[in-house]
């Protein structure tokens, strides 16, 4: 793959459908999510201003199915029923590889370990079936059933790695715990052994936090990412797992200065020397947005080898820009040599694309 690699979309999405959960085993089918249509009540609008009509019901929790979809991409491309069409659209956008992330699981869906395992196992097999149709173009990040025993997590992740997974999806809050909690150490050890990076994506796996702030998404999805980064670095978690790669996807890079400054103050008070290269020293990659103040971030806080960019393909929210890779090249704010790294080699290293 490395010979032909040009541009890597570090954050592209699939939009789940009932087909996603057709991979459940017979004993798990009772957990299959439902899709329902609104027939009455107050209208709710999507991010594009369209009337929302479809909803998921997962473990008795209700979520809008069509709230965050981008009409600039065809339904069959977002929902992965036309893989050839999706790849052709990537060609039009000059994207060689898209790293596939979920949509439904950006929020907490269940805290029942049996339901979680059934949902994630079926999702992983759906993504593997997509990858097999375009293995050079559509690698993906795996869902880890973090409520399950570590043996089950390991078994599932081993299968995922053998079937196209190039990272592990994680929300900044999981199992009602923060990312630096020792509960996750055995999981991080497995990820390190399997050479699969931990990919934090804007979202939230905590019912407590999600329900407290809903529907205000900024503290739910974005500030939780800053907190996870701060907690990992402050507690020196990356040093416990020196070979493990970490990523923070779809939260921009603008917050890095604030987090790094606060960390430096706290570390000095503890008699520790703050890092002069916080990303490299902690093996952390960050996905930028095209409207970030990149020249400032690069000058003060970020190593040019640890920045990537994604389109948020399939979505239409504050991070979505389907032309992101072209725009960052055409912007002219940062040297073309740095742009070249952000568009390809940095993501190739993060996702171990060879």
- Is the residue at 33 inside a domain? no
- Is the residue at 56 inside a domain? no
**In the predicted structure, residue 4 carries a pLDDT above the cut 70:** no
Per-residue pLDDT, 325: 87
Per-residue pLDDT, 48: 65
Q: Using one digit for the tens of pLDDT, what is the confidence trace for 211-240? A: 999 888 899 999 999 999 999 999 999 999
The CATH number of whichever domain residue 337 belongs to comes to: 3.20.20.140
- Looking at residues 56-73, what average pLDDT do you find? 83
Lowest mean pLDDT among 61-65, 97-101, 174-178, 277-281: 61-65
Which residues form the domain of 158?
Answer: 8-15+68-350
**In the predicted structure, residue 250 carries a pLDDT above the cut 90:** yes
Q: Using one digit for the tens of pLDDT, what is the confidence trace for 192-212? A: 999 999 999 999 999 999 999
Q: Band of the pLDDT at 329, cuts 50, 70, 90?
A: confident
- Is the residue at 26 inside a domain? no
Q: Band of the pLDDT at 1, cuts 50, 70, 90?
A: very low
By C-alpha distance, which of 298, 214, 209, 199 is closest to 250? 199
- Is the residue at 345 inside a domain? yes
Cβ neighbours of residue 307 closer than 8 Å, sequence gap 6 or more = 253, 285, 286, 287, 288, 294, 298, 341, 342, 346
- Is the residue at 334 inside a domain? yes
Per-residue pLDDT, 46: 62
Number of domains in the chain: 1
- Is the residue at 27 inside a domain? no
pTM, full prediction: 0.94
Three-state SS annotation for 22-53: CCCCHHHHHHCCEEEECCCCCCCECCCCCECC
For residue 200, the cross-strand partners are: 170, 248
- Looking at residues 56-76, what average pLDDT do you find? 85
């Amino acid at each position: 793959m490395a010979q032909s690699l040009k541009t890597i979309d570090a954050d592209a999405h699939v939009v789940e459908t009932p087909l996603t959960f057709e991979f459940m085993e017979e004993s798990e089918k009772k957990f299959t999510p439902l899709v329902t249509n609104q027939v009455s009540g107050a209208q709710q609008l999507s991010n594009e201003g369209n009337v929302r009509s479809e909803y998921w019901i997962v473990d008795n929790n209700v979520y809008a199915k069509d709230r965050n979809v981008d009409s600039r991409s065809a339904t069959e491309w977002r929902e992965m029923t036309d893989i050839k069409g999706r790849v052709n659209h990537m060609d039009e956008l000059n994207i060689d590889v898209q790293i596939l992330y979920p949509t439904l699981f950006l929020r907490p869906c269940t805290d029942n370990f049996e339901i979680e395992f059934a949902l994630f196992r079926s999702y992983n097999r759906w993504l593997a079936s997509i990858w097999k149709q375009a293995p050079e173009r559509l690698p993906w990040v795996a869902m880890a059933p973090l409520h399950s025993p570590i043996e089950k997590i390991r078994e599932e992740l081993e299968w995922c790695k053998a079937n196209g997974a190039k990272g592990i999806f994680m929300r900044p809050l999981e199992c009602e715990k923060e990312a630096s909690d020792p509960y996750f150490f055995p999981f991080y050890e497995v990820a390190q052994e399997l050479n699969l990076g931990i990919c934090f994506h804007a979202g939230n796996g905590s019912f407590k936090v999600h329900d407290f702030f809903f529907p205000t998404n900024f503290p739910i999805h974005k500030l939780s990412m800053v907190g996870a980064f701060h907690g990992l670095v402050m507690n020196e978690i990356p040093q416990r797992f020196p070979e493990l790669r970490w990523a923070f996807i779809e939260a921009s890079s603008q917050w890095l200065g604030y987090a790094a400054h606060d960390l430096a103050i706290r570390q000095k008070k503890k008699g520790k020397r703050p890092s002069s290269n916080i990303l490299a020293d902690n093996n952390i990659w960050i996905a930028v947005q095209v409207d970030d103040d990149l020249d400032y971030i690069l000058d003060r806080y970020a190593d040019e080898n640890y920045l990537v960019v994604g389109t948020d393909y399939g979505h239409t929210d504050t991070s979505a820009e389907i032309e992101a890779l072209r725009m960052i090249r055409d912007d002219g704010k940062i040297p073309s040599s740095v742009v070249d790294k952000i568009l390809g080699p940095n993501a190739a290293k993060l996702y171990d694309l060879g």
